[in-house]
């Protein structure tokens, strides 16, 4: 059973945040709902201790500072960060609403209209991030919140910050940057020059799952999932969701090309195509 670190978190952040309760756990961090002294709700994220021990704190905090420049309705904005009582933490806007993983676990898939809305919202967020040189690297349903105004992407830049601050110690800790079901072929290959088109591939995997009720490449054995991303042809989403507009299926297929040079050149270009489908 995971250790209850709530008392330690409250003590470390006393006077800075009122920490209410733990609300989630991800691959990199445990998430707590907290309040600022002014009463504003925020999401406080504490890096898992074993992961924090594998990164250089100063470098991690330096890496995530650039993300604070990212302001967009589809992004949970980074507000604060620090190290206290051996805890590495960062604070983002609190977004009311379930994450997409919880929704898909319950409903299995979304309507075609909702899939288009989710794609549009997140492509707008990615376009804004890519414009300032930030690649998410871990676009997946767990990092997508379904708020009333629209879909919101969280944890921008965190995967890169962890990777850059970890080095060889991170490799030994077993932490993987990205999630196998949504990783681009170049991430799987361990390329050092991950660019925005990797995010487009990962988002296409997510939207494909929204429509089909399953990701494009799935298998009980993770190694086979990784191999399929690199070598297997993409199953046409129409075989799982025949009512999907043909143009939408074609758009996803292009985003899921093995070679990034054959994908959409940018999030803005892909978003423009999504909007054209929504208007049709």
Q: How far is Cα 64 from Cα 156, in angstroms, rounded to an integer?
A: 9
**Structure confidence at residue 110 (pLDDT):** 98
**Structure confidence at residue 102 (pLDDT):** 95
Q: What DSSP string describes the chain?
A: -----HHHHHHHTTTT-EEEEEEEE-SSEEEEEEE-TT--EEEEEEE-HHHHTTS-HHHHHHHHHGGGG---TTB--EEEEEEETTEEEEEEE---S-BHHHHHHHHSS--HHHHHHHHHHHHHHHHHHHHTT---S---GGGEEE-SS-EEE--TTHHHHHHHHHHHHHHHHT--SS-GGG--HHHHTT-S---HHHHHHHHHHHHHHHHHSS-SS--SSHHHHHHHHHHSPPPPGGGT-TTS-HHHHHHHHHHT-SSGGGS-S-HHHHHHHHHHHHH-
**Structure confidence at residue 67 (pLDDT):** 87
Q: Do domains 6-93 and 100-279 have the same CATH topology?
A: no
Name the pTM for this structure: 0.91
List the one residue out of 248, 151, 269 whose CA is nearest residue 204.
Answer: 248
Q: How far is Cα 197 from Cα 265, in angstroms, rounded to an integer?
A: 7
**Structure confidence at residue 267 (pLDDT):** 98
**Structure confidence at residue 245 (pLDDT):** 98
Q: Which of 58, 80, 105, 138 is catalytic?
A: 138
**Structure confidence at residue 56 (pLDDT):** 82
**Structure confidence at residue 172 (pLDDT):** 46
**Structure confidence at residue 178 (pLDDT):** 62
Per run of 10 residues, the mean pLDDT along the chain (length 280 residues) is: 78 95 87 96 90 81 87 94 89 95 97 98 97 93 95 86 66 58 95 94 98 96 96 97 98 98 98 96
Domain boundaries in the chain?
6-93, 100-279
**Structure confidence at residue 54 (pLDDT):** 77
**Structure confidence at residue 86 (pLDDT):** 84
**Structure confidence at residue 37 (pLDDT):** 94
Could you say which of 3.30.200.20, 3.90.1150.10, 2.130.10.30, 3.40.50.720 is the CATH number of the domain covering 6-93?
3.30.200.20
Question: Active site includes 261?
Answer: no
**Structure confidence at residue 174 (pLDDT):** 46
Fold of 100-279: Transferase(Phosphotransferase); domain 1 (1.10.510)
List the one residue out of 126, 108, 101 whose CA is nearest residue 255.
Answer: 126
């Amino acid at each position: 059973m995971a250790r209850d670190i709530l008392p330690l978190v409250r003590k470390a952040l006393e006077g800075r945040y009122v920490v209410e309760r733990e609300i989630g756990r991800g691959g990199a961090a445990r998430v707590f709902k907290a309040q600022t002294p002014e009463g504003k709700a925020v999401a406080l994220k504490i890096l898992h201790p074993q992961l924090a021990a594998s990164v250089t704190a100063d470098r991690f905090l330096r890496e995530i500072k650039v993300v604070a420049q990212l302001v967009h309705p589809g992004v949970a904005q980074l507000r604060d960060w620090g190290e206290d009582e051996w805890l590495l933490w960062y604070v983002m806007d609190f977004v009311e609403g379930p994450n997409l993983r919880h929704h898909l676990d319950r409903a299995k898939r979304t309507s075609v209209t909702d899939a288009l809305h989710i794609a549009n919202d997140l492509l707008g967020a990615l376009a804004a991030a890519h414009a300032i040189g930030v690649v998410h690297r871990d676009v997946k349903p767990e990092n997508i919140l379904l708020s009333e105004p629209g879909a919101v992407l969280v944890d921008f830049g965190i995967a890169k910050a962890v990777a850059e601050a970890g080095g060889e110690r991170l490799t030994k800790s077993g932490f993987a940057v990205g999630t196998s079901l949504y990783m681009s072929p170049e991430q799987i290959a361990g390329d050092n020059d991950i660019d925005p088109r990797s995010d487009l591939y990962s988002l296409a995997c997510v939207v494909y799952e929204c429509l089909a009720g399953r990701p494009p490449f799935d298998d009980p054995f993770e190694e086979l999932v990784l191999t399929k991303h690199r070598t297997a042809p993409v199953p046409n989403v129409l075989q799982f969701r025949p009512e999907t507009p043909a143009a939408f299926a074609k758009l996803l297929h292009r985003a899921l090309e093995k070679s990034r040079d054959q994908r959409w050149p940018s999030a803005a270009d892909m978003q423009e195509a999504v909007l054209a489908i929504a208007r049709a």
